[in-house]
Chains A and B, each alone.
Chain A
């Protein structure tokens, strides 16, 4: 099975994150592999291992689109266990919205399929932890004309068919689709593994392919700010919340709390 896992290099949410520049784009200093993508990578590794791993011809390819630093998301994925990596990077990609991102990623996936071994499965996280729109998996499925099996909280593949559980809506649903497919997974699907010492050493020998827009047949006008269909016209930092009244319970804090709620007209 040939699996592509989409991995995004995102600003670390442990620190303050910022929007900068004339196009109001996200500052990507201090970035890390998006936590939610680790679940997709783990799902891919489990599927490949169940089928005999790399020796049996399985592939787990970590694909990241982003500036030069985004190669670190690929490297981290290789340390965790991805078999090889692809880094799509081009100055013209900067500022891409979800539509432009899905266009570039669809072209990259077609390129990865063009070696005679078509991709069976594209795995992603349920959202990026920066943009948080959840648009890219759906838009990628639309662009590749593939079934989308999104927000999977469990996943099985047998006989060329994907079966997943989806709990994202008012129902708990069983979803079925034929391969190839685009699948996004939630943080309920598994416990992602950590890179170990052996994995970190092994990653140094794994191959990372660098791609530019011309490699994947995409024109600069189709992506980035030029190719995006939305613009962010303004961005204002919200004033940080400040602490209000803090009291220590002296036996009547529950009553005082109700007094506070009543004063705020919240009862």
Chain B
């Protein structure tokens, strides 16, 4: 009987780093099983074994991807019951959180989202009110459901690899009844840069870039960073909404956040103030961003940023 169950939605050819992080946390809670959807390649199966998974559950239907949230939650509830797990871990994507929510109702289980750390007894740590408080929370129910943010633990394989058994879980026949159907799905344009919510470094621009993200993209590429933006920049249509960092966009917590031409109003601050190091470049010395920056430059981003990019390229050879 497993202690922890990790939900991995369509791993594709290789497990994402965030999935490896979930497996690493799960192992600290005890024997780990995985509830998978989609194909299980030999490589993925081997990696799951290397990370200590003893059982891999797969759904009795391959139809789950055609529906939003509900049927996946029904499958995961069945897998949780079969495994006997007392903790279920999911990623913290919008769909991960929503599956967690519905799973909680199905299992009468407390759900904690946006988790950044888990104690062996299931106590979860998170940051709330836009990073102004750190809290510890716990489910009072037999099963705990946690959606865990990426980049908070270092993925580590188990000391001893296992060969996980594969078990099919019957998805209830009525699981898709009354569910919203996904009738079309289009790939979003791929930037080739790291995912914003998981990037180690983020370079973000605001009103001050005045429609030209070019210099910021060059700096991001020199640093291997993701590109983010303030709401002013996404609302102006200079960059896609997916790049928005802030209260109504993505919350980021990278090692380094470089803010250029962003005043740093509360909306933006809410999305980035838990970054480890904040660098700000802004023409206006009165910008609130300078109150929270570890290193602030009062200057023209169109001069400072390209100079920094050239210097980084020079030093990196």
Contacts and interface: CB of A to CB of B under 8 A. Distances in A.
Contact of B304 (A187, A231, A257): A257
Given A17-B129, A24-B135, A138-B69, A246 B105 contact: no
A151 to B, nearest CB: 6
Label chain B's interface by main secondary structure: mixed
B180 A177 contact: yes
Contacts of B98: 134-135, 137-138, 148, 150
A148 B279 CA distance: 41
A214 interface: no
A56 interface: no
B192 interface: no
A266 B113 contact: no
Interface string A141-167: 111011111110000000000110011
Contacts of B295: 244-246, 257, 260
Contact of A135 (B97, B140, B312): B97
Interface stretch (B17-25, B35-43, B50-58, B183-191): B183-191
A229 B135 contact: no
Nearest to B241: A188
Chain A interface SS verdict (over half): mixed
Contact of B294 (A102, A162, A238, A245): A245
Contacts of B187: 170-172
Interface string B276-306: 0111010001000011111111111001111
B164 interface: no
Contact of B296 (A17, A171, A244): A244
B310 A254 contact: yes
Contacts of A120: none
B172 to A, nearest CB: 13
A236 B273 CA distance: 16
A232 B180 contact: no
Nearest to B129: A17
Interface string A98-121: 110010000000000000000000
A141 B102 contact: yes
B292 to A, nearest CB: 4
Contacts of A26: 129
Nearest to B300: A249
Contacts of B294: 244-245
Contacts of A252: 307
B101 A138 contact: yes
Contacts of B140: 228-231
A149 B274 CA distance: 31
A108 B178 CA distance: 21
A99 B300 contact: no
A267 B277 CA distance: 13
A255 B308 contact: yes
A261 B129 contact: no
Nearest to B291: A243
A147 B179 CA distance: 4
Contacts of A181: 180
Contacts of B310: 254
A258 interface: yes
Nearest to A170: B188
A254 B307 contact: yes
6 contacts: A98-B101, A172-B188, A228-B110, A243-B292, A244-B295, A267-B312
Given A19-B133, A167-B188, 18 more contacts: A17-B129, A134-B98, A135-B98, A147-B68, A149-B180, A176-B182, A186-B248, A232-B135, A232-B137, A233-B135, A234-B136, A241-B273, A241-B291, A246-B293, A248-B285, A249-B300, A253-B303, A254-B311
Interface of B: 68-70, 73, 93-95, 97-102, 104-106, 108-114, 123, 127-141, 178-188, 201, 223, 241-242, 247-248, 255-256, 266-267, 270, 273-274, 277-279, 281, 285, 290-300, 303-312, 315-316
User: What 3 A-B pairs have minimum CB-CB distances, sorted nearest first?
Assistant: A254-B307, A249-B299, A229-B110
Interface of A: 11, 13-14, 16-19, 24, 26, 35-36, 97-99, 102, 126, 129-139, 141-143, 145-151, 162-163, 166-177, 181, 186-188, 228-238, 241-249, 251-258, 260-262, 264, 266-267
